[in-house]
Chain A
């Protein structure tokens, strides 16, 4: 067994441990870490989130517990003060020493503080650690304005932080533009305009000569008469690698800081490695976390792998969201490294700037800049890094091809070396190999075994595409089995349940599955059983997702929400008063939802039956806000009141909502009815949307709001109400029977071979001759509907399930609330 001592417990130190432990346990390498900070490694990249919650709990790379489990000894709050390379041991500020076989320096860097007169004054801060943030928050509570020295990436983030604290924020930059390392003149101007609009003062080409004030800072002096009066200053002028310890131990360090390493991250002492921001590799310090992780990889390879892996120049492309504004730069953003043609696009009104640099022969993308809209970043980066072929009109890359698809890069054309996940440095090749060699069956497995997509998550869509493409290329009919317990897809199981008249999950598992089921197949089968038998979900409550099991949405903190049905959004004053009274009585947070209903949040599980009893007595019923089922059918006010209304959209919405209330489906279903083309009910982004025309209704289907908005497509035009309902019956039932689990109608239609034309054939022309059968099945659903909550409050046995403890009537003491605008809200995630 060998012993590794690590100096520093920052992000890279942690990642090194994680990577090493994945390959070698404590019997092979003992690990001892010394970290100067009091807290175990936390996510510095998301440091600013600390301002919102003032708690580090969400930022930890891993809980303290984790180190113990991994057999790692972690000494926090301990500074290493000396290295005795002869004796191979380190000494801490407490005077203890620890011997090592291998020493890893992961000391990171500290904020660079320029030698300006007066920097020692009170009110001057840096922005690097949680301690720094604590100090800033304490001081900022009494301040009115703050300047940030440095208009780089970090400086702007700091400016946003002080702005969020309620201070007037200024950014002071020495260069003539913002983010000088990433942006060009125009990019900087576009960004500046947006920041100024937010009220941030931007001061460019300013050299700060002196920090004025009598002990306490009062102003920045720029020379001549120019001064900026502020109460606080945050310095963000770059970083200084922490190489003092290495230097004192006689290791080679760079003239401008950083511990010199070779391609294997070895320092001038072969027993000492350096990783992260402290390492100086080929004269470069990498101030980003991804290269640090890659360094950790290389050292792990030295210790337990082939030893062949080398750290190569790392990509410094960046994409971030600054104060809600996308900013990205990649490759050679300025087109300086070789002669280039530049294509740029600027839209002052929406604050968008895009620039790409193309090689003189028009064949390669060299780099570029995106401000305001960085949606194309991922694919541009891939094209750039992999020297992929450009479209015939390269400007399509940033403008989007006119008149159709294009510009977008499919994952099939990526080379194997393309880095897909930059946080964890996973290439397309790594993903494909994992899929092929380990016989992976879903994207979750792929993420778990390669770690791709587990960092910032931005690459998840690409990972999914690569997964599907690879399976297809392997000649696997990508059979969409539900999970390891059922070798069938949802549609097949639906038929089995129906034909074999299977009524319970257990019976299906016994006859057609294996193992004990899981959180994927249980709710999927529950949805199928509901789609065939429309039985009460409460009868098989433990196969339901938690929301269906408790007939309410679980929330942060473990309480539940209550959303009664308000068909069409129409509600009487009496019912509104009842909602208010119930909310008051049970102390519930009250909010109007985005679907024209009222949500009452923060109910203890034990209070749910009582709350519902009162609501039901007042004439409400379940709104199924917790279920993959019909939610709301929104309406606009329509012809009864509106001067433009063509038909009574409210009445029709209510009729439709009551018709399909409680209808369980593969995913949730939403509808809307608008009284005219102005479309105030937003029907075209619903699973079904009905819009009044002069002579009838237009029926749109498969629209979606949410994560991937998509407009609905016209299924039939100018139809009467009866026909509309008939088509809806057929369409909804057809979807319920054939969709994969958790596919909304939009996704389902996108995948349906033949698309909308085929759907029209089936629904309108009845080409399969199943129209009548579908209508009958739907009629069965309508006839067998009952309100689940009514069932519960009338059945003491069902009611008894709504308790937090099985052996006590106490409420969960863990549930705690804060106050917000005169209502309660759950405590932040802890």
Chain B
């Protein structure tokens, strides 16, 4: 199962090789996420309407290896945007992927951009 975690690697903005067209921005819930399937990988993409920002991270929660983070509630902790896993509420920074409870490992994050109402996910 550890190998599954290894499928997900943080991609920084400068490492993006391809921008994948994902869906219309309006298909996403406000202040919530949805899951994108890309070559067998599951990436959670969030429309953080309140901040006017978009985020993406692996859908796989490292706590019990559940494909669930896209269904988690988003919010902030001391200003840091975060997502809480729906299963046991482990929380992760949407910016750095850091686990904010200190007990799980960090998660991979990905760049997102919106152009002409379409959402694009950056992969390397």
Contact = CB atoms under 8 A, between A and B. Distances in A.
Contacts of A807: 22-23, 36-37
The prevalent SS among residues of A at the interface is: loop
A541 B74 CA distance: 12
Contacts of B82: 518
- Chain B interface size, as a band, is 35 or more
A205 to B, nearest CB: 46
Contacts of A517: 50, 75-76
A516 B65 contact: no
A806 B45 contact: yes
A66 B77 CA distance: 23
A794 interface: no
A542 B91 CA distance: 16
Given A542-B32, A806-B27, A65 B84 contact: no
Contacts of B103: 454
A65 B6 contact: yes
Given A543-B73, A546-B71, A807-B37, A64 B50 contact: no
A675 B101 CA distance: 49
A515 B68 contact: no
Contacts of B40: 813
A476 interface: no
A819 B79 CA distance: 46
B2 A65 contact: yes
A801 interface: yes
Interface string A504-533: 001001000001111101110000000000
A519 B105 contact: no
Interface string B35-65: 1110010100100101100000000001011
A546 B86 contact: yes
A102 B115 CA distance: 55
Interface in A542-589: 542-543, 545-546, 549-550, 554, 556-558
B86 A830 contact: no
Given A57-B65, A63-B5, A448-B102, A519 B84 contact: yes
Size class of the A contact interface (CB-based, 8 Å): 35 or more
A554 B86 contact: yes
B120 to A, nearest CB: 12
A494 B58 CA distance: 36
A554 B87 contact: yes
Contact of A516 (B28, B30, B67, B81): B81
Given A69-B106, A522-B75, A558-B67, A545 B51 contact: no
**Of listed B6, B48, B64, residue having the most chain A CB within 10 A:** B64
Given A448-B102, A516-B81, A518-B84, A806 B28 contact: yes
A780 interface: no
Given A63-B2, A517-B75, A810-B37, A829 B105 contact: no
A804 interface: yes
Nearest to A65: B105
A600 B50 CA distance: 37
B37 A805 contact: yes
Contact of A542 (B29, B36, B101): B29
A830 B67 CA distance: 11
B77 A519 contact: no
B66 interface: yes
Nearest to A541: B29
B41 to A, nearest CB: 11
A518 B28 contact: no
Contact of A558 (B28, B66, B81, B89): B66
Given A63-B2, A554-B87, A807-B37, A519 B75 contact: yes
Given A519-B89, A805-B37, A62 B105 contact: yes
A518 B76 contact: yes
A806 B23 contact: yes
B78 A545 contact: no
Contact of A808 (B1, B5, B37, B78): B37
A812 interface: yes
Interface string A440-467: 0000000010000010000000000000
A463 to B, nearest CB: 16
Contact of B71 (A448, A509, A522, A550): A550
Interface string B101-124: 111011000000000000000000
A63 B62 contact: yes
A814 interface: yes
A519 B87 contact: no
A516 B76 contact: yes
Given A545-B86, A805-B37, A557 B77 contact: no
A261 B93 CA distance: 43
A484 interface: yes
Contacts of B87: 554
Nearest to A801: B29
A491 B22 CA distance: 42
A543 B84 CA distance: 12
Interface string A781-810: 000000000000000000001001111101
A57 to B, nearest CB: 5
Contacts of A545: 73, 86
A484 B77 contact: yes
B72 A519 contact: yes
A480 to B, nearest CB: 19
Contacts of A829: 64-65
A228 to B, nearest CB: 41
A484 B73 CA distance: 16
B6 to A, nearest CB: 7
A814 B42 CA distance: 10
A518 B37 CA distance: 26
Interface string A63-77: 111100100000000
A733 to B, nearest CB: 27
B34 to A, nearest CB: 4
Contact of B66 (A448, A515, A557): A557
Interface in B1-32: 1-2, 4-6, 22-23, 27-32
Given A515-B76, A518-B76, A805 B35 contact: yes
A62 B103 CA distance: 8
A523 B89 CA distance: 13
Interface string A38-52: 000000000000000
Interface centre among B66, B72, B79, B101, by most chain A C-beta atoms within 10 angstroms, is B66
Nearest to A39: B2
Closest 6 CB pairs of A and B: A542-B32, A546-B86, A518-B75, A519-B84, A806-B34, A516-B76
Given A64-B2, A485-B76, A812-B42, 10 more contacts: A516-B48, A518-B76, A521-B75, A542-B29, A542-B30, A550-B71, A558-B68, A806-B22, A812-B67, A830-B65
23 contacts: A63-B5, A65-B6, A66-B105, A484-B78, A506-B31, A506-B50, A515-B76, A515-B79, A516-B76, A518-B73, A521-B75, A522-B73, A523-B73, A541-B29, A542-B74, A545-B73, A546-B72, A550-B71, A556-B64, A806-B28, A806-B34, A814-B42, A829-B65
Interface of A: 55, 57, 60, 62-66, 69, 448, 454, 484-485, 506, 509, 515-519, 521-523, 541-543, 545-546, 549-550, 554, 556-558, 801, 804-808, 810, 812-815, 829-830
